[in-house]
Amino acid sequence: MCAGYLRRRPPWRENGVVPSALAELKILDFSRVLAGPFATMMLADLGAAVTKIEPPGGDETRHWGPPYDQAGEATYFQAVNRNKRSLVLDLTDRAQRDRAQALARENDVLVENFRPGVTERFGLDYDTVRHENAGIIYCSITGFGGGRGAALPGYDLLIQALGGLMSITGAPDGEPQKVGVALVDVLAGLFASVGILAALEHRRESGQGQRIEVDLLSSLLAGLVNQASAYTVAGVVPQRMGNQHPSIAPYEPLRCAGDELVLAVGNDRQFGLLCEVVGLPGLAGDPRFATNRARVEHRSALRTMLEERLAARPASAWVDALTEAGVPAGVVNDIGGAFGLARELGLRPTVTIEREDGTTVELTRNPIGLSLTPPIYRSAPPRFRPLG
């Protein structure tokens, strides 16, 4: 067993430096694309030493572009692979396969998302690895689990379609839409990282390793939260509603003078304040709109009345007035505008990391704030170094 991580580190500073939360944790990462690499990067940010094993052609996302950086490498790969050491191994070669197996014996955690049967063929399956490393935390990420869906390809778009997310995304009279980012992969990566941390805590107390299984379809179903419980509890199958909310109103973009205002009115008090700001104070007492349930039932009439008043001013002007009054409101930013807002709010949304060649890359900051053991940024995403 890799016992280094099991030894409790002293809670005080060492040589004036606060130890990282996961210092001494060693992770062997065979995963590719997004879900697994996202999970291991989260743990690497918290101090874990991650060795990323890549095939001779590299992780697929190294080639998923445009866009590319100035050196011609895809920016997709760089989103989820900082703080890692890259090691290219051809597992069909006996000597390199032996090296991979040796690394599996030396690490605390192994993460993989191979197709069914691949780990067994290379001697890297859970039963084989734990025979040599009883304390291994072995995390397998699949598309549809290890049963009858094991052979199905686990691409995010397919999961969004088959898992129902596309059926509730888009305009009611339009076609189903995917979310604008591979959200299912991100969810699965987060669930995987939580599972790994839970297994590590169990191992610290018991000395036992274990296998973690995370599949994309189950991750999506869990991530559907209230839309899922509408079906499981009440038998209601949610449908596409565009930007409207199934249970709250007004909670949507509304047309103003030349652009759109986003309102997120979550209670009756906020609705009353909204009515005051837009000059419709009597609306809050109207039986059709006095409660959230009533507003949901009469959302079309409410939308029409609000948009008639909102048309007098641009969204930015309404945002200022509504925010001052305590009504949640905003505009629809593009990605650049979103990062700009975060900077304005002092959230420091990015970090700049130096590469080995002296160039730098700017990446999204880890959003977890820890007062004693904050995330660290030791190294930029590794450049690809082919075999030979």
- Active site positions, annotated: 185
| Nearest Cα to Cα of residue 260 among 322, 307, 204, 211 | 307
Q: d(Cα 219, Cα 163) in Å, to the nearest integer?
A: 10
The two tokens of residue 98 are: 């032996």
Q: Which residues contact 367 (CB under 8 A, 6 or more apart)?
A: none
Give the DSSP H/E element, type plus range, for residue 329.
strand 329-330
The two tokens of residue 182 are: 């591979």
The sign of the CA dihedral 234, 179, 261, 326 is positive
Q: In Å, how far from its chain's centre is CA 280?
A: 40
Phi, psi values for residue 379, rounded to 5°: -150, 150
The two tokens of residue 199 are: 């297994």
Identify the three-state secondary structure at position 281: helix
CB 243 within 8 A of CB 332: no
Alpha carbon separation from 36 to 2, 42, 179, 224 (Å, rounded) = 21, 10, 20, 21
Q: How many CB atoms lie within 10 A of CB 176?
A: 15
